[in-house]
Structure 1
Amino acid sequence: MVVRNPHCSPRGLARQVPESQRAELTVLQLGRVAHYAFDAVLISAFLAGVRRSTGLTPSVKSEQFTEAPGLKKWIDNYLWVGEWTMDQSVAVLSSSSYFERKR
């Protein structure tokens, strides 16, 4: 039998923590969200690199997303972020003296 302690949940923990330490919890939560966002952009940039080097891209056909019409647009925007990240990375790295283009 599993007994759950309500004080271990984030909401229960926030009620127990003094007001002065609640800001620290918020900063930790913000850091976690930033970490997940960075990981999502990194995966999107990886998919953009795969697309540019091999031509393979995730299949986003409209008949697969009939239940959620906004999902296709969300996926397209997500993949666009990866393309933009790749473009910016190539621009910065090509202007650096630490990288050179070999053909």
Structure 2
Amino acid sequence: MVLGKLVHYTVDAVLLSTVVAGVRRSTGFAPNASAIPDPTIRSVAEKFLGVGETVFDMIQATAVNSSYFKRDPR
């Protein structure tokens, strides 16, 4: 029961971080982690955002190499 909740919250956190990474990539706006005064919490926040960047890069690489996706000319 507890392990299931932990996995659920972890997946939710990774999804949230990935959405924030996507917003940063598409708009240029990102959370200002340097505004966090505590260095430990700032480090955790930067790692949290880094996980989202990594997942976003993996999803993007998969989409680029997949035949199910094509570039939308705008």
Q: TM-score, normalised by structure 1?
A: 0.65
CA RMSD after TM alignment? 1.2
Q: How many residues align?
A: 73
Give the aligned residue type for 2:55: T
1:23-38 alignment, distance < 5 Å: 28-38=1-11
CA distance in 2, matches of 1:90, 1:61: 27
Question: What's 2:72 paired with?
Answer: 102
Higher relative contact order (CA 8 A, sep 6+): 2
Give the aligned residue type for 1:98: Y
Q: TM-score, normalised by structure 2?
A: 0.89
User: Kindly, what percent of the aligned residue pairs are identical?
Assistant: 41
Gaps of 5+ in 2: none
Are positions 1:43 and 2:13 aligned together? no
Aligned-pair CA distance for 1:84: 0.2
Question: What's 1:22 paired with?
Answer: none
The structure with the largest alpha-carbon Rg is 1
1:1-103 alignment, distance < 5 Å: 28-62=1-35, 64-65=36-37, 68-103=38-73
CA distance in 2, matches of 1:91, 1:42: 17
Runs of 4+ in structure 1 off by over 3 angstroms are none
